[in-house]
Amino acid sequence: MKKKEAVNWRGQSLEMLRKKKKRVKPLLKKKRTPRKEKKRKKKEQKKQKKSRQKKRNKKPKEKTEDTTPMTEE
């Protein structure tokens, strides 16, 4: 069985790139714009607020009494 060859995201084999002494460029991450950052923070705050509200409005579970008859031997 033939071993799969390691390739970078462009489909170039890493072995060949190493031989050529070429550096494999990682995918560049898009930097967050200040506006997007602001939006993300706002979203997180909204989520936290919602979860806090849920905890506060949580109704206590009603305790159900065990009505199974006890059998004594």
How does pLDDT run across 24-44, given as a tens digit for each residue?
566 666 676 788 889 999 999
CB 12 within 8 A of CB 19: no
Within a domain: residue 25?
A: yes
Please state the pTM of the whole predicted model: 0.36
| DSSP 8-state assignment for residue 10 | T
| Cα–Cα distance measured from residue 54 to residue 59, given in angstroms and rounded to the nearest whole number | 10
Percent of the chain with pLDDT over 70: 62
Within a domain: residue 68?
A: no
Within a domain: residue 65?
A: no
What's the confidence (pLDDT) of residue 35?
Answer: 87
Within a domain: residue 60?
A: no
What is the domain count for the chain?
A: 1
| DSSP 8-state assignment for residue 4 | P
Residue numbers of the domain that contains 1: 1-42
